[in-house]
Structure 1
Amino acid sequence: MQKVTVIPYAKKIGVANIIPRLVDWLEKNNVEMAIPESDAAELGIPAFGVAKDKLFDGSDLVITLGGDGTTLRAVKLLEERDIPILGINLGEMGFLMWTMPDQMEDVLERIQDGRFAVEQRRMLKARIMLADGQRIERLALNDILVGRDEFGRLIKLDLLVNGVLFCQYAADGLVAATPTGSTAYAFSAGGPIIAPATDVFLTTPICPHSLNDRALIFSAGDRVTIKPLKLGKTGKVGISVDGRVIEDLPDMIFIDICLADHRCSFISIDGPGFYEALNKKLKKWLSLR
Structure 2
Amino acid sequence: MISRMNPSKVIGLVALAEKPGLGEALRIMRRELSRHGLGSCVIETPDALERAIGRCGMLVTFGGDGTMLTVSSLAAMHRVPLAGVNLGRLGFMTTCSVQELPLLAYALQEGSYLTDERSMLEVVRVGEDGVAAPPRKLALNEVSLIRAQSGKMVDLDAEIDGELLNRYHADGVLVSTPTGSTAYSLSAGGPLVWPMSRVVCVTPICPHSLTNRSVVLPDNMTIRLRPRERRGRFDSMVYSLDGRSAYPIEVGESLVIRKAPETLSLVHLRKQNFGALLRAKLRWQGAEIPSDDE
Secondary structure, aligned partner of 1:181: helix
1:267 matched to which residue of 2?
267
Alpha-carbon spacing, 1:162–1:286, altered in 2? closer, same or farther (3 Å):
farther
Aligned mates of 2:13, 2:24 — CA distance in 1: 15
Aligned mates of 1:97, 1:9 — CA distance in 2: 15
The amino acid across from 1:150 in the alignment is: Q
1:199 matched to which residue of 2?
198
Deviation at 1:185, TM superposition (A): 0.2
Aligned mates of 1:167, 1:37 — CA distance in 2: 43
| Higher normalized contact order (CA 8 Å, seq sep 6+, divided by chain length) | 2
2:70·2:244 contact (CA, 8 Å) conserved in 1?
no
Secondary structure, aligned partner of 1:244: coil
Q: Deviations over 1:122-176 (max 9, x none)?
A: 0011111134755142110000000121122101111111101121111000011
* Count, aligned residues: 278
Alpha-carbon spacing, 1:233–1:167, altered in 2? closer, same or farther (3 Å):
closer
| 1:95 paired residue among 86, 92, 96 | 92
1:64-75 equivalence runs, <5 A: 64-75=61-72
1:217-228 equivalence runs, <5 A: 217-228=216-227
1:5 matched to which residue of 2?
12
Alpha-carbon spacing, 1:246–1:143, altered in 2? closer, same or farther (3 Å):
same
Deviation at 1:104, TM superposition (A): 1.3
Q: Deviations over 1:174-226 (max 9, x none)?
A: 01100000000000001000000111111100000012221001102111111
Q: Percent identity?
A: 29
1:79-228 equivalence runs, <5 A: 80-131=77-128, 133=131, 135-136=133-134, 137-228=136-227
Aligned mates of 1:106, 1:79 — CA distance in 2: 25
1:19-98 equivalence runs, <5 A: 19-36=26-43, 38=45, 51-78=48-75, 80-98=77-95
Deviation at 1:236, TM superposition (A): 2.1
Aligned mates of 1:90, 1:252 — CA distance in 2: 43
The amino acid across from 1:58 in the alignment is: R
The amino acid across from 1:215 in the alignment is: S
TM-score, normalised via structure 2 length: 0.87
Aligned mates of 1:285, 1:175 — CA distance in 2: 30
Alpha-carbon spacing, 1:287–1:227, altered in 2? closer, same or farther (3 Å):
farther
Aligned mates of 2:291, 2:96 — CA distance in 1: 20
